[in-house]
Structure 1
Amino acid sequence: MVVIENTPPLPPMPAIRMPAPGYAIPESADERIARALVTPESRDEQTSQLTERAGQYQVQVPDRIPPHCIVGTARTYNLNPLLLLSILKVESNGRTGIISRNTNGSDDLGPSQFNTDSWAKVLTVKYKIPREALIHDMCQAVRALGFALRTEINQAGGDLWKGIGNYHSRTPKHHIKYIGLVFGAYKQMTVKGKF
């Protein structure tokens, strides 16, 4: 097992808030710090505790997931590395070599489970990434995931959760369910410290 640290730079205040599954709004470290600053009771103690651990998590990942691929992709596409891991957890449990057949006849490929009717087609036709690389090469699958996710978030006007849902499906019932799965995987990793 290797450890991936999530220490992305904190966004400027005020933090952008994105609705989480179930319409709860995840509170960013900046928001916790801001609340501590305006809450009169034990303000200094709360602020120092929050600042020390703001946005920092360590997650053990299996050897099959190279940390340099996760961290490099996260930096390249300005994404949270734990978000990439959460999607890999939901899609394939971080395993290569997987081809899943869908009821509509399309396939989902590799660790990122790119659908042959959507992202797999874009990546193989437009960007000439070999289909086999999306299936068997963890680093290629992670880089392609970063590209696809950043594209979806940008097309959603910067809405993180909508972009994540759109990465999976634009069908509302699948979209919402997927957001919940990714959010759950993210929470589990931050609490347990394991992939």
Structure 2
Amino acid sequence: MNPNAAPVRKQNKRREKEVVILQAAEKIFAEEGFGGATMQLIADAAQLPKANVHYYFSTKEELYRQVVSNIFDVWLQAAGSFEESDGPAEGIGAYIDAKMEISRTRPAGSKVWASEVMHGAPIIQDYLETTLVEWTNSRIQAIEAWIAAGLMDPISPRHLLYMIWATTQHYADFGHQIQTLNHNSPLSEDEWNRAKDSVKTIILKGIGVAT
């Protein structure tokens, strides 16, 4: 009998519970905002007793910060294309693809982030001033290197990033509006692919990159 089996099962069970709670919290924070969300609402969405939620996350703020951190981790992974690509066509193109897919599969996460920032980031300002600043500066350096190599037009890297964020996250933050304009139907697989291709083409051509 494996003496480590029981601790491993316990650890896996804990992780599974945390995932369920975090998914429920992301949904509730997106719908209610930080102020309107309660641990009881999150527990109900997770179909768990409130005491279980408090066992894993002692306060609402702790849970909220973990949700925000998870959202940003997903966005960090999406930006891996900057380091893995030789030029802007592949690097920025793959980043746009990934951000569009995140907006499709994790719309609640984008809404949580947008709501927090639009309210002046009262909970995560320290996160913006450290993690976000460092990440943004590293992306700017990558774009500046591509500009210096003559691979794209000499545009402002910072404003390019802002444009990519605004465009890709629009599909999450304003999903209801898009659905309404799409004959009250969610975008199909083909429509999503056309949207991604269109956004990539417009942005890459706008910075002088052949598609």
Query: Greater strand share, 1 or 2?
Result: 1
Fold equivalence (TM over 0.5): no
Q: Give the alignment's TM-score, normalised by structure 1.
A: 0.30
> Which structure has the bigger radius of gyration?
2
Query: Greater helix share, 1 or 2?
Result: 2
